[in-house]
């Protein structure tokens, strides 16, 4: 389960920012997670309490925003949502595409 290490990384980011602001508690944290990021939301939610115990995020609300994966066909330039890395273009059937959204995992904001 790599979601525990991801959750611990999020805690490190929050603690670093809290240290800069000289605060000991965060009210909320917003996360953006792409549908092709490889992160299982249920596993992240399961690991979350273990990762945040005793940290600045212990009492924080966690808000997750799911970012749908999108690609642009390199043959016909059609922009479309994809569910899997190997989805083909629904217009021309090409497998050549530029995936420009949906692989991200980032801390969008921290509310103090």
Let me know: does 35 contact 66? Beta carbons within 8 Å: yes
pLDDT at 109 over 80: yes
Confidence of residue 2 (pLDDT cuts 50, 70, 90): confident
What global pTM score does this model have? 0.88
pLDDT at 36 over 70: yes
- What is the total count of domains within the chain? 1
pLDDT in tens, 14-29: 999 999 999 999 999 9
Let me know: does 28 contact 60? Beta carbons within 8 Å: yes
CATH number at residue 57: 3.30.2320.80
Which residue has 């980011």 as its token pair? 13
Q: Which domain holds residue 39?
A: 3-111
pLDDT in tens, 41-81: 999 999 999 999 999 999 999 999 999 999 999 999 999 99
- Could you tell me which of 10, 80, 74 has the C-alpha nearest to residue 39? 10
């Amino acid at each position: 389960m790599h979601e525990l290490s991801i959750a611990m990384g999020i805690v490190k980011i929050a603690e670093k920012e809290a240290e800069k602001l000289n605060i000991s508690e965060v009210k909320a944290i917003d996360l953006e997670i792409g549908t092709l990021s490889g992160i299982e939301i249920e596993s992240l939610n399961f690991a979350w309490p273990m990762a945040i115990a005793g940290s600045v995020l212990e009492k924080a609300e966690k808000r997750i925003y799911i970012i749908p994966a999108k690609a642009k066909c390199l043959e016909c330039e059609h922009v479309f949502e994809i569910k899997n890395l190997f989805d083909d273009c629904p217009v021309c059937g090409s497998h050549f595409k530029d995936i420009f959204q949906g692989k991200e995992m980032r801390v969008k904001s921290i509310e103090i």
